[in-house]
Chains A and B, each alone.
Chain A
């Protein structure tokens, strides 16, 4: 039986700065042991515990799609002790990865249906993993129409610009990128995510919605999805809680009797409504 607290060692192969303020970076990790890399089977929406030895560990959503085999990507915002230590690492530094943890997005339920993806701010990481997975040649035809509504405070805060550009050129995805308030250099949409979602009004028949973003965005997005007729069991949210062990033992990430690290982080909106409002 393997010890769940021992991380796999991985090398930072590439670091991509995602926003001008330089407090969001994407780290491309390659496991030192190829065997461990192969066994690290993950689904979109799962997370892993990243260790920077000497600083500690913290849970980060997996940003790469399971379809890219050669590396695993994590997008990290510089906030606390471990993320700051991670941002100070250069390429070639050895870090630890433990996981994959959490349940991930319910791909089986979404198969053969339309997919509406609503994201905000830097919480777009796991949604990007989902989009890349869906748009991958092997998977695209398993899903019907795909619509993405992604917003950020200003153009500088938009992450994965290179992906947004590529997806913009495709015809099998309706990409709607918006920023909260107008900025001269920006020619695209302007407006909050909930407003844009109401405007593009995706049809709720035979559709699944996946939402991930700051609490304020979620609070205003839910009524819009209601209006559009999305049943609560077809709307999925990825929650953010403080986590430490990632395996349901340390007792800190519970909402009611459910642990976000083990029973989540993705919950159906119907399930979430029955849980105590403590997240």
Chain B
């Protein structure tokens, strides 16, 4: 039976048993911030959040990741690979928009001839436990981006909060496997499943923010030199908030730390920084904020559609809430979709 019920009070017990076999990552509250951390006991986790500031992408694609270490000696160079840990992991409390972002990130890291083992290894070893959204935020527009507050894409086991308890729905066999590890979980009654369905419909109706991406990719192809770009970038200060907090942004830089004995690390990078495309000769194909803002929008809503078949915005609203100058991506997409030649 793929539907189970879990009392809220039993969450710590579940986590305890999970940590015996898995490395468990879950949302943890530290003063005003909720972020995904490794937890060892049940009472550390906090599920009363709308969504975390930093997306869970950092569990698979950390801000700083060691690729390998090197030692330069008289007799030559020794390289020691730094592979992703092989241990099985559970990532719990992921909202549906973020779970869907993993499916999109998989496309980037596994497409083409070269596979990014660091990311893919962690993804392969991790079971995703989603947390459905009963109360989406006003800045959420996942329904316009092909997602939904109870979306199952990228989720192995979905938790849906009913008052006082959680309904567990196994979406994939991996989710089923996880449930079977806890025989004490009771099967869900019909009433619970019905209630969850109604909550789902309420949540979807609660999302009033609608953005149409219909025809946006095609229009963007013809809008590269449109004067509109001169206007919309003006208030942007070019920081990395929108890209670092975006669940589907995965651009990175590679650099060495340490001279004779050190490590090659990969760190998050942003297309909003002038250094992103600054060439050794001093030439920069994207010299000002206009080109960089255009790149972010073209990439999210056009280039990825051509390369991977769908847009990379999951409608989580983080870039809207956290932009220091309240630059709203919904406004930009609206301008594009209503653009006439």
Decide if A and B touch, CB cutoff 8 A. Answer: yes
Q: Is A241 within 8 A of B285, CB to CB?
A: yes
* Chain A 187-200 near chain B by CB (<8 Å), digits 1 or 0: 00000000000000
Cβ distance A198 to chain B, nearest Cβ, rounded Å? 26
Residue of B nearest to A9 (CB): B77
**Complex Cα–Cα for A257 and B217 (A):** 12
Cβ distance A185 to chain B, nearest Cβ, rounded Å? 28
Residue of B77, B264, B291 with most partner-chain A CB within 10 A: B77
Using known A-B contacts A1-B115, A248-B112, determine if residue A53 contacts B67 with beta carbons closer than 8 Å: no
**Which A residues touch B237, using CB under 8 A?**
none
- Please tell me if A262 contacts chain B, counting CB pairs below 8 Å: yes
**Complex Cα–Cα for A251 and B273 (A):** 13
Q: Is A242 within 8 A of B68, CB to CB?
A: no
Which of A3, A51, A245, A249 is B81 in contact with, Cβ under 8 Å?
Answer: A3
Q: Is B109 within 8 A of A249, CB to CB?
A: yes
* Chain A 40-83 near chain B by CB (<8 Å), digits 1 or 0: 00000000000101111110000000000000000000011001
Using known A-B contacts A94-B77, A247-B114, determine if residue A252 contacts B251 with beta carbons closer than 8 Å: yes
**Which A residues touch B303, using CB under 8 A?**
254, 256-257
**Complex Cα–Cα for A55 and B257 (A):** 8
* Chain B 255-280 near chain A by CB (<8 Å), digits 1 or 0: 11011101010100101000011111
- Please tell me if A250 contacts chain B, counting CB pairs below 8 Å: yes
- Please tell me if A157 contacts chain B, counting CB pairs below 8 Å: no
CB proximity to A under 8 Å, residues B256-313: 256, 258-260, 262, 264, 266, 269, 271, 276-281, 283, 285-286, 291, 295, 298-299, 302-304, 306-307
Residue of B nearest to A56 (CB): B256
**Which A residues touch B286, using CB under 8 A?**
278
Residue of B nearest to A55 (CB): B256
Cβ distance A157 to chain B, nearest Cβ, rounded Å? 15
CB proximity to A under 8 Å, residues B215-254: 224, 250-254
**Complex Cα–Cα for A249 and B116 (A):** 8
Residue of B nearest to A92 (CB): B76
- Please tell me if A16 contacts chain B, counting CB pairs below 8 Å: no
Using known A-B contacts A249-B108, A257-B302, determine if residue A5 contacts B68 with beta carbons closer than 8 Å: yes
- Please tell me if A201 contacts chain B, counting CB pairs below 8 Å: no
Using known A-B contacts A54-B260, A80-B280, A250-B251, determine if residue A276 contacts B224 with beta carbons closer than 8 Å: yes
**Complex Cα–Cα for A157 and B57 (A):** 48
Q: Is A250 within 8 A of B258, CB to CB?
A: no
Which of B81, B224, B253, B307 is A250 in contact with, Cβ under 8 Å?
Answer: B253
- Please tell me if A18 contacts chain B, counting CB pairs below 8 Å: no
- Please tell me if B117 contacts chain A, counting CB pairs below 8 Å: yes
**Which A residues touch B254, using CB under 8 A?**
5, 56-57, 244-245, 250
Residue of A54, A57, A215 with most partner-chain B CB within 10 A: A54
| Interfacial residues, chain B to chain A (CB-CB below 8 A) | 67-68, 70, 72, 76-77, 79, 81, 83, 108-109, 111-118, 224, 250-256, 258-260, 262, 264, 266, 269, 271, 276-281, 283, 285-286, 291, 295, 298-299, 302-304, 306-307
| Interfacial residues, chain A to chain B (CB-CB below 8 A) | 1, 3-7, 9, 32, 51, 53-58, 79-80, 83, 94, 96, 215, 240-242, 244-245, 247-257, 262, 276-279
List 7 other contacts, CB 8 Å, given A5-B67, A242-B278.
Answer: A51-B264, A56-B254, A56-B264, A80-B280, A251-B251, A254-B295, A262-B112
